[in-house]
Structures are given as structure tokens and as C-alpha cells.
Structure 1
Amino acid sequence: MILSVPGPATGVVAPGAPVPPAASAVLRTRLALAEPTLRAACAALWHPDGLRPRYLRYLAAMHGLIRASVPLMESAARRCAETPGDPLAERLGRYLAAHVEEERDHDAWLLDDLAAAGGDPAALLAAQPPTAVAELAGAQYYWIEHHHPVVLLGYILTLEHHAPSPLLARRLARDTGLPPAAFRTVHEHAALDGGHAADLDALLDELPLTPAQLTAVAVGALHAADGITRLFVRLTAPGGQL
């Protein structure tokens, strides 16, 4: 999908000229295109029927994604450091370095959740990650290395702006019969991701994004939303194999 986005989102505006919309607002508008299908996939994923085994499959899939988060941001930060003179690079690199520390070890939370739910973390780590997960994370590596690391912000935007509801962990425990210890990741991200999303919106509005870069971030966000939707649909399908 080729997107046309207004821009630039930042910079000097000529007297009397209309003020362009903030980058975060533009991106949320673009991401809204994917909202209906993503929300429907989430509703089906969390339906009480067959939820307990589906939740274990969800933990396994999300572990595959979340363990890639820190390496992705480290790769993007390295690319920023390799591009002196890029007006985005220094500010983006600082954000990524800080966000790495905020996201570190969250993949270990998922392994603990899986063990508490009766799953086998060792078997998960030994298995080849499914293609649906590799496609989502792999696109980010490609864009970081072969286009611009700012594209990763679209992926992060999609994840942070679709944080779990604060009530989701309690509802899942009720509907699955699993112990509260099986829902640490859901519970913690419900508390953390709202603040992360606000920080990311502020960064996007601060960065001197060109129209092309804003489009690239939007494409990354929509690609992530589409990939997560397809991942959830496959988890919900009979058999739930990825």
C-alpha cells in the first residue's frame, strides 16, 4: 500500500500558512485504517471458548516477537551512530538507547508466564520460531539496514498504542482458570505501555521528519498492524498453528 501523508510535520511554517498536523496525529490517523480488523482479531483471540490452550500459544508467539525487541532497537541505534550528519540520528539514537533499557528482559517474563501456565519454556526456546513471527520482526531488520532506522518507530508505535486493558489480566485468569503468575506480561504492559506511547508521540512530534520519512514510519506501522492481525487470526483458527 502506498500512502500519501501531509508534511513536513515539523519545521518553520510561513506566516499565514496552515499549520501542518503533528506527526503523531498523522500516524494515528493512518493506523486507524487497520483498527477494525485488528480489534476483531483481538476479540476473537480473547474469546472464552478454548482460551486456555490458545493463551499458551499466544505466549509462545509473543515471546518470539518480544525477544526481538531489544536486538531490533540496538540495531537501529547502531545505524543511527553510523550516520553522522543525519538530523534525525542523534535524537532517535538517544530514544532507542533509553527504550532498550525499558524493554530489556521482557521476553523472560513471557517464559515465566508460560511455565506458570503449564507450558515448557525449554521446548519453546529449542523450536524454530514460526514464519508469522519471523515475517513481522524480519521486515524491521530489513528496513533498518537497507532504508532508515526511523521506520522502526512505526513498529513500536503499533505495539505501544495497542497495550492490554488494565482489566485484561484479571479476565484472562478468570476465563482460563490459570494462576495470576501466568499473566505478568499482560499486567505489566497494561501499566507501562500508556506512558511509553505518550513518550513516543512526543518524540515523533519533535523529530524533523521529512514527508518521505513520515510515510515510511506509517508504512511500518501499518505493516506491523497487518502482521499482528494475521498472527492473531492464525492463533484463533482451528488448531491454532503458526
Structure 2
Amino acid sequence: MKFHDLLLMETQRERESLIAIPIIQSALAGQIDRQDYVAFLTQAFHHVRHTVPLLMACGARLPARLEWLRTAIGEYIEEEMGHQEWVLDDLEACGADRDQIANSAPAEATELMVSYAYDTIARGNPVGFFGMVLVLEGTSVALATRAAETIESSLGLPRNAFSYLRSHGDLDIEHVGFFEQLMNRLDDEDDRRAVVHAAKRFYKLYGDVFRTLRQDAQTLAVAA
């Protein structure tokens, strides 16, 4: 069995638990309000802004035997540069205060997820960072475009309020094929174990972002 197939099999339960989270199911059914969507985008900004720094940190820590993977990271960096600005554009289109959100602090769940990503790279096996890539890109492909269509229809927001979701649904389809090729080239068991372990953790951590989203949406509403 190729490693990418094994990775999906080993993390199936965690993936299903994430997709089953009530607010995600509500989004797919078009049953969330503007406050929920703004809260989601706010937390997306707080982790997306770390994507390029995390990729850079991962690339710097890879051993010489994984030079091919470092080269691939360079391609990822080029693709991911500036995506946090897309999120802020969407927030502005929703009527949110762009500067206020850009200067805000992340929710606890988002902070912990990002911190774990940095810790995986710095303290553990840096290849484990690709467990986070699996979770974020895989979730985008599975949910982003469908969610954008139902939310846009139910909330009556302008189309330019969904550039992040729509672009990542489409863009990450290409990324998933690229990711699969990279994972299948990993032939070291420690590297493979690191990716599986991290992916399981990131499904839980990313799930916690969604599980606490409405709590943070209420905080935003009070602040506004």
C-alpha cells in the first residue's frame, strides 16, 4: 500500500470526527449566520498568516536526504504567499473591521494549533508538519466550495466575501495531488510515523477551532 493511502486510512476516524462537528454540518446546510462566518474567517486569518513562516521553518529543519522535499516546500511557499490578505478582504466584504481583526489575538484553540505546528517542527520531526497540510488542505477540498455556495445563498453576502473559501476549494484540489506524490516518496518509517501522528493531532486541534467558534463569535459581537 502506498503511504498516502495508508495515511488516509490511519486518520479516517479523526477526519470523520472533524466533519461531523455540528457547526460544520450547519455550514454545509446553509444554517449559520453572519456572526459565525466572520468568526470562522477571523480564526482562518490567525492560522493562515503562519502558513508561510511554518513552511519556511520546516524547510530549514529538513535533513539533506530530504532535499527534494525542501524544493517542494519552495513551491508551496510561492503558492501560499499573501493568502491572509484574501481572508481580510472577505472580512471587509462582510462589513467587519479589517484593521481590528488584523490586530486581534487568536482564539485559544487557534493559538494552540499554531503553537503545536511550530513545536512539531522545532522539537520533533519536521516532516510531521505535513500532517497539518493534510488536515487543512484535505478539509478545504472536502468542504470549502460546498460551504461557500450554501453560506452565500443563505446569508445574502456578496460573492467577494467568499474568495478565501472558493479559492481554497479549487486551489487545494491541485495541492492534494501534489501532496499525494510527496507523501508517496517518503520511504523512512520515522518520517511516515511523524506525519500520521501529527495528522491525528491536527484533526483534533483544528476541530477544536470549530467546536469553540460560536463562543468566539459571541465575544466578537460583544466587542463590536
* TM, length-normalised to structure 1: 0.83
Shift of 1:168: 3.0
Aligned to 2:199: 221
Classify 1:214/1:57 alpha carbon distance in 2 versus 1 (closer, same or farther; 3 Å). Answer: same
Q: For 1:69, which of 46, 51, 61 is the aligned residue?
A: 51
Aligned to 2:124: 147
Asked whether the equivalents of residues 35 and 217 of structure 2 are also in contact (C-alpha less than 8 Å), the reply is no
What is the percent sequence identity of the aligned residues?
25
Shift of 1:239: 5.3
Classify 1:147/1:167 alpha carbon distance in 2 versus 1 (closer, same or farther; 3 Å). Answer: closer
Asked whether the equivalents of residues 155 and 220 of structure 1 are also in contact (C-alpha less than 8 Å), the reply is yes
Shift of 1:72: 0.2
| Greater Cα radius of gyration, structure 1 or 2 | 1
Asked whether the equivalents of residues 45 and 233 of structure 1 are also in contact (C-alpha less than 8 Å), the reply is no
Q: Establish whether residue 23 from structure 1 lines up as the match of residue 8 from structure 2.
A: no
Letter in 1 for 2:14: A
How many residues align? The count is 216
Letter in 2 for 1:106: H
Shift of 1:119: 0.5
Deviation by residue 1:45-72 (Cα, 9 ceiling, x = unmatched): 5554442110000000011111111100
Aligned to 1:94: 71
CA RMSD, aligned part only? 1.8
Aligned to 2:81: 104
Classify 1:50/1:191 alpha carbon distance in 2 versus 1 (closer, same or farther; 3 Å). Answer: closer
**Equivalents in 1 of 2:214, 2:20: separation in Å?**
11
Q: Establish whether residue 199 from structure 1 lines up as the match of residue 178 from structure 2.
A: yes
Deviation by residue 1:100-121 (Cα, 9 ceiling, x = unmatched): 1111111000000000001111
Gaps of 5+ in 2: none
**Equivalents in 2 of 1:23, 1:103: separation in Å?**
25
**Equivalents in 2 of 1:179, 1:120: separation in Å?**
16
Deviation by residue 1:9-29 (Cα, 9 ceiling, x = unmatched): xxxxxxxxxxxx211011101
Letter in 1 for 2:10: R
* TM, length-normalised to structure 2: 0.90
Misfit runs of 4+, over 6 Å: none
